Amino acid sequence: MGQVKSNLKYKRYMENAIAYFLIAISILVFLGPILYIISCSFKNLYQITTTPPIWFVWPPNLQSYVRVLTPEVAKEWGLRIPAGIDFPEYLTNSLIVCFGATGLAISVSLLAAYSMARWRTGGDNLRGYYLSLYMLPPAIFVVPLYILFKFYNLLDTQIGLILPYSVFNMPLAVLVLESFIRDLDVTLEEAAWIDGCSKLGTLTRITLPLIMPGIVATAILTFVTCWNEFMIAFLFTGGGKATTLTVGVAKFITGYGIWYSEIAAASTITLIPMIILFMLVQKYLVKGLTLGALKG
């Protein structure tokens, strides 16, 4: 009997060891490329283009960050910088566009989500309407929108990005917020209705404070999606004055050459805040990314 028990224990031990091993390999594979690029941002051109590849550089070279973040300082130091790239401006654009789009999307979606969650307004058809927007590729909406924005001179403006961003994120915002509201007990709201509070009043006074964590999580998801959007930004701004970060990073691939360590530095600056934001909403990530279809 003791023999059997220790065999079982040994088996379980071995299984866990194999599990750890496979998980470690998978994490190495998933994170390897990202870590390598981050290390590239601290290298000079020689260290990037040499073989065998260098995974860890010491001392770190911060020149590419200076080139990317403060082109003016880089010029004063006599560093060569790629012409026509203004990364700080792209950063400002991204911040304005993403905050604008998230604010617009969340405020409009919250109303719709509340109505849908509490009175089943529009029923399945309305939900299908939002879902269709999520499932159809943005490419087919981009062509008509491009023509429309051309007429109204909205191409290469921040408003011209905020509008489509907020609309294309509405399915996510509405459906995720709806599922948060639905999870909430309705009795408090019913008490407010009985006391004569209006529907809008109930939403702002009772429901809003209660689902604040859900709203923040949805807002963060929307923000990250906007931040990471490339196609609309690329086609509508064409690398002009409203260029956002994702398009800005690709601009370091120029006709004269590729600024490898600057690409790496710009990417690192762009992605680190998003990783932190995703970590913050870890608990709600599954729910958010499946539009509330699954509980996280």
Q: Does 4 bind other proteins (CB under 8 A)?
A: no
What is the DSSP secondary-structure string of 105-142?
HHHHHHHHHHHHHHH-TTHHHHHHHHHHHHHS-HHHHH
Distances (CA, A) of 28 to 22, 70, 163: 10, 33, 39
Residues 231-260 touching other proteins, rule: CB under 8 A, are: 231, 234-235, 245-247, 249-250, 253, 258, 260
Residues 99-138 touching other proteins, rule: CB under 8 A, are: 104, 108-109, 111-112, 114-116, 118-119, 121-122, 124, 126, 128-129, 131-138
Long-range contacts of range 225-233, CB-CB < 8 Å, 24 or more positions apart? 225/169, 225/172, 226/97, 226/98, 226/101, 226/102, 226/165, 226/169, 227/94, 227/98, 227/270, 227/274, 228/274, 229/165, 231/138, 231/139, 231/142, 232/138, 232/142, 232/161, 232/164, 232/165, 232/168, 233/161
Q: Does 274 bind other proteins (CB under 8 A)?
A: yes
Closest CB to other proteins among 95 and 271? 271
Number of residues that bind other proteins (CB under 8 A): 102
Cβ 192 to other proteins, closest distance in Å? 14
Cβ 21 to other proteins, closest distance in Å? 10
The 66-105 contact track toward other proteins, x by CB under 8 A, reads --------------------------------------x-
Residues 12-51 touching other proteins, rule: CB under 8 A, are: 15-16, 19-20, 22-23, 26-27, 29-31, 33-34, 36-37, 40, 48-51
